[in-house]
Amino acid sequence: MTETVEHDGVGWRMVIAEGRDHLTLTIEQQLDHDWLPTQRWHEPAPEPRHRKQAITESARAHGWITPAERWPRTRKDGTLILEDLFPYDWERILRDATRLREEALAHAAQIDRAWRLTINAAGTTGGMRIHELAEISGRGRHAIYRMRTDDLGADDTALLTEIRTVKDHA
pTM over 0.75: no
The residues, any chain, with a CB within 8 Å of residue 62's CB and separated by 6 or more, are: 25, 27, 39, 41, 89, 92, 93, 96
Amino acid at 22: H
Integer angstrom CA distances of residue 103 from 27, 109, 132: 16, 10, 33
Q: Are 83 and 70 in contact (CB under 8 A)?
A: no
Domain residues for the domain of 34 are 12-88
Which of 61, 88, 115 is the C-terminal boundary of a domain?
Answer: 88
Strands (E), the chain: 12-18, 22-31, 34-44, 64-65, 79-83, 86-87
pLDDT values of the chain reduced to their tens digit, one per residue, 170 residues: 445 555 566 789 999 999 889 999 999 999 999 999 999 999 999 998 999 999 999 999 999 999 877 788 888 888 999 988 899 999 999 999 999 999 999 999 999 999 999 999 999 899 999 999 999 999 998 888 888 776 555 555 666 666 666 666 65
Q: Are 123 and 133 in contact (CB under 8 A)?
A: yes
Residues 79 and 45 placed together within one structural domain of the fold: yes
68 within some domain: yes
User: What integer pLDDT is reported at residue 72 of this predicted model?
Assistant: 83
Amino acid at 24: T
51 within some domain: yes
Residues 109 and 82 placed together within one structural domain of the fold: no
24 within some domain: yes
Q: Residue 93: enclosing H or E segment and its boundaries? A: helix 90-124
